[in-house]
Structure 1
Amino acid sequence: MSISNYITIDLETTGIKLGRDKIIEVGLLKIKDAHIVDTFSCLINPQMHIDEKILELTGIKKSELERANEIHDVIGNIVDFCEDYDLLGHNTIFDYSFIKRDAKRVGIDFEKRGFDTYKLCKKILPADIKKNLTDACCYFGIERKNAHRAFSDAYYTHRLFREILESHNSLDIEPEDMRVKLKKFIPIRKRTKEDLQKLLNCHRIGCKVNIDLLSESEAKRMMDKIKSGSRDFAL
C-alpha cells in the first residue's frame, strides 16, 4: 500500500500522565512522497520539577530546559508545521494527546488522524519479539541510535514505518481517528493566585513556575504541597 505523506512525531515528557506531566522535547519530520522534506525540533521548558530519572533517560540537561522556550511560545509553530498531514508515531495517541492539550490551552484546534507503528508491530511481529521501538527496529535490521531523544525517535519511527510498508505491502493500513478526552482547562483564579503568592512569600520560596500559566487545579496542588512542607513542586 502506498502511503507517502505524513508527519512523524515523537515527544519526550516529564512523565506519562496527561493531567499533570509536560512536554520537554518535540521532534517532527515532514514526509512527502516518502521522503523527509522538512524537520522541526526543540526543547521545551516545562516550568515544573523534572525527575532525575527522566533527565538520565533522555540525556537532556536541566540547564538546557531552563534556557528553552515554554510550550505556549512554540505550540502555534508545531501546529502550523503539521499542516493538514496525518500523524505517524510509535503509540501515536500519546504524543498527539499532549500536543492537542497544549494547543487547546491557547485556543488552537488540533484534530488529526494517525498511523501507529506500535499497533502495526503487534499485528505483524512474532509474539516473542518486544514491540518497543528499539526491538521493532532491530527486527527489521535498523540500528537505532540516540534513543529517547525526540528527533531521533521520530526519525527511526519513520524508518520503521517504511520497512513495514515495503515488507508487508498487502497489509491494509489506513489512518485512524484519534479521540482524546481532555479535562476542561480552568485558568488560575485571582483569589487562588493571591493565596499562592502569599504562601510562597511566607515560606520564602523562590518559584520558577510562571503562576499566570497555571490551571486552578495545578495551583491548588502546589499550595497543598507547600502546606505539607514539601518543596517538590511537580504538578
Structure 2
Amino acid sequence: MVKDYVCVDIETSGVRVKWDKIIEIGAVKVRDSKVVDTFSELINPGLKLSPYITELTGITDEMLKDKPFIEKVLPRFIEFTGDDVIMGHNIMFDYSFLKQNAINQKLKFDKMGIDTLKIARKTLKGLESRGLEYLCNYYGIADENHHRAFNDAEVTSKLYNVLMEKFGTECPGLFEPYQLVFKAKKMQPITDRQKKYLKDLMVYHKIEMNFNIDELSKNEASKKIDKILSEKGRIFD
C-alpha cells in the first residue's frame, strides 16, 4: 500500500475542462503517511468568477486579481509533485484540469493516481454519501475550510489514512495506484488578428480587460468577440 504520495485538490471557475480555469491549487507531500511539505497557490484565471463559485469557495475576484497566472504556477506545482503518485477525492477531475493545462504549456504531467472516492464507493456502500465533506464528518476529521484547495487536499490525505487502516488488509488492491489517462486536444491559441480586433473592440467600447489575452484560445477569443458584438455593437457602427 502506498504511503508516499502527493495529495492534491484544485478549485476552478467551472467544470468544463477546456473552457474553465484553475483558480487554486493545494497539495500536501506525504512520506510514510506523514505530511512533510505543502503547496498552496491562488491563481488569476483572467476572468470574473460567477457568484456561485464565489459562494461555494469563498474565493473572490479581489483575492485573485494580483495573483500569478497558471503559466507561472503550474511548472512550480509539477516540480513539487516530482515522480510521486498523486491522490485526490475524485482525482480525475483534478488531474484532467492539470493535464489539460500542462498540454497547453507543453509540459509533461503523466501520473499514477489513487482515488479516495473510488475506495469509499467500494468499501462504504451503506453510507448515504461518499462525498468528502460527509466522510470527514462521519470519521470525525476536522474539515474547517471546505472547498478550499489546501484544506481539501489535507483532509483527503487524512481520510486515506483512515480508509487504509480500516480496509487496507481486506482490500489491498484498492490502495494500489493506477495510470491516470486523460486525452485532450491541444487548443489553438488566439490569432494575432483576433488579438488586435479584441483589443480594439475593448478600447472602443471602454471595456476593462480583466483577463490575460495571450492565454486565450482561438475559440475563447471568438466567444469574447461575439459577446461584445452582440451587447455593444461593432466599431464605428
The correspondence for 2:186, drawn from 172, 175, 184, is 184
Provide the residue aligned with 1:39 in structure 2.
Answer: 38
What SS is found at the alignment partner of 2:46? coil
Partner of 1:216: 218
Q: How does 1:75-94 map to 2 (within 5 A)?
A: 75-94=74-93
Equivalent residue in structure 1 for 2:177, among 175, 178, 182 = 175
User: What are the Cα deviations for residues 165-201 of structure 1, in whole angstroms up to 9, with x where unaligned?
Assistant: 0001221222121111212221111111122122222
With the length of structure 1 as denominator, give the TM-score of the two structures: 0.93
Distance 1:214 1:70 in 2: 12
2:216 and 2:16 map into 1 onto residues whose CA distance is 16
* Match of residue 130 from structure 2: 131
Q: Structure 2: where are the runs of 5+ without partners?
A: 233-237
Describe how 1:28-67 pairs up with structure 2 within 5 A.
28-67=27-66
Amino acid at match of 1:203: H
Contact 1:47 1:208 in 2 (8 A): yes
Aligned length: 229
What corresponds to 1:116 in structure 2?
115
Question: 3-state SS of the aligned residue for 1:223?
Answer: helix
In structure 2, the partner of 1:12 is 11
Q: Distance in 2 between matches of 1:196 and 1:57?
A: 31
The equivalent residue for 2:153 is 154
Between the aligned partners of 1:196 and 1:118, the Cα distance in structure 2 is 43
The one-letter amino acid paired with 2:181 is R
Residue segments in structure 1 that go unaligned for 5+ positions in a row: 231-235
Q: How does 1:139-150 map to 2 (within 5 A)?
A: 139-150=138-149
Give the deviation of 1:227 after TM superposition. Answer: 1.1
Partner letter of residue 50 of structure 2?
D
Relative to the length of structure 2, the TM-score reads 0.92
Matched residue of 1:229: which SS? Answer: helix
Q: CA deviation at 1:67?
A: 1.5
Q: Given residue 70 of structure 1, which amino acid in structure 2 is its aligned partner?
A: F
In 1, Cα distance between equivalents of 2:220 and 2:185: 13
State the SS of the aligned residue for 2:176: coil
SS of structure 2 residue aligned to 1:224:
helix
Deviates more, 1:63-72 or 1:190-199: 190-199
Deviates more, 1:38-47 or 1:202-211: 202-211
After TM superposition, the structure 1 stretch with the greater mean CA deviation from structure 2, 217-226 or 172-181, is 172-181
Q: CA deviation at 1:141?
A: 2.7
Are the aligned partners of 1:45 and 1:65 in contact in 2 as well (CA < 8 Å)?
yes
CA distance in 2, matches of 1:220, 1:10: 31
